[in-house]
């Protein structure tokens, strides 16, 4: 098995052993989907208020998805920085760019993919049409890749800071806005019977750009923190 695959397996094991895998993110996502109707004071009946909630359900599900993806980012690089594994990884056969990419892919596998499967359930619970489920899964899965790689930039830049979680949120949230906009636009357009492929293509392009460029930014932040 290649060194890159071993790093990927290691990160998956750390995600489950250290943070419970996707359970925390899924629990947060479920809480958001449950509390939004309660906070709005909506009764369980056919009222104009429930129709308005159904119209914005995909958007609310996307916002919850973006916030849930932030929960496990703080420990993405910090644990290797604290226990000295960062120095060993820098001396290994895989470049820091490759290590960063493997970490982000493992982050998406452990958290992003389960959240993508939960996204249509949350949207339907908020009142979205079940016919939107396939597109919501596709957009959430693609957007989750962008969340993981852009989130990795924030996690790497926050290495060594005392309030890493707050710093990560300040750095990452603006970077998560484009996939939320593109994904929400695609789903809303599909629900309205309009052309939705443009939003999906923009979302895919953003995710591919993040996967291609973010590892270089993360590796540079790693080297700066280790120096």
Number of domains in the chain: 1
Q: How confident is the model at residue 217 (pLDDT cuts 50, 70, 90)?
A: very high
Checking if the pLDDT of 185 tops 70, the result is yes
pLDDT (tens digit per residue) in 34-90? 777 776 665 555 556 566 777 777 778 888 888 888 887 877 887 777 777 777 777
Task: Give the domain range for residue 17.
Answer: 3-226
DSSP the chain: --HHHHHHHHHHHHHHHHH-TTHHHHHHHHHHHHHHHHHTT--SSS-HHHHHHHHHHHHHHHHHHHHHHTTTSTHHHHHHHHHTHHHHHHHSSS-HHHHHHHHHHHHIIIIIHHHHHHHHHHHHHTT--GGGHHHHHHHHHHHHHHHHHHHHHHHHHTTT-TTHHHHHHHHHHHHHHHHHHHHHHHHHHHHTTS--HHHHHHHHHHHHHHHHHHHHHHHHHHHHHH-
Checking if the pLDDT of 204 tops 90, the result is yes
**15 or 153, which is more confident:** 153
pLDDT (tens digit per residue) in 16-42? 775 556 778 888 888 888 777 776 665
């Amino acid at each position: 098995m290649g060194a890159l695959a071993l790093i990927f397996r290691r990160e998956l094991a750390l995600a489950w052993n250290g943070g419970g895998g996707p359970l925390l993110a899924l629990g947060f996502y479920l809480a958001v989907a449950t509390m939004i109707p309660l906070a709005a004071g909506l009764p369980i009946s056919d009222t104009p208020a429930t129709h308005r909630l159904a119209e914005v359900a995909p958007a609310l599900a996307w916002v919850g998805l973006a916030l849930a993806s932030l929960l496990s980012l703080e420990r993405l690089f910090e644990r290797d920085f604290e226990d000295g594994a960062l120095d060993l990884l820098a001396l290994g056969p895989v470049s820091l760019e490759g290590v960063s990419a493997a970490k982000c892919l493992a982050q998406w596998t452990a958290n992003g993919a389960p959240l993508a499967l939960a996204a249509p359930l949350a949207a339907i619970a908020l009142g979205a049409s079940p016919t939107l489920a396939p597109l919501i899964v596709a957009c959430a899965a693609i957007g989750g890749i962008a969340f993981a790689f852009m989130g990795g930039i924030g996690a790497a830049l926050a290495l060594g800071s005392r309030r890493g979680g707050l710093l990560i949120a300040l750095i990452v949230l603006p970077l998560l806005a484009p996939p939320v906009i593109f994904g929400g636009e695609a789903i809303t357009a599909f629900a309205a019977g309009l052309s939705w492929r443009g939003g999906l293509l923009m979302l895919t392009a953003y995710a591919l750009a993040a996967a291609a460029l973010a590892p270089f930014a993360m590796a540079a932040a790693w080297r700066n923190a280790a120096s």
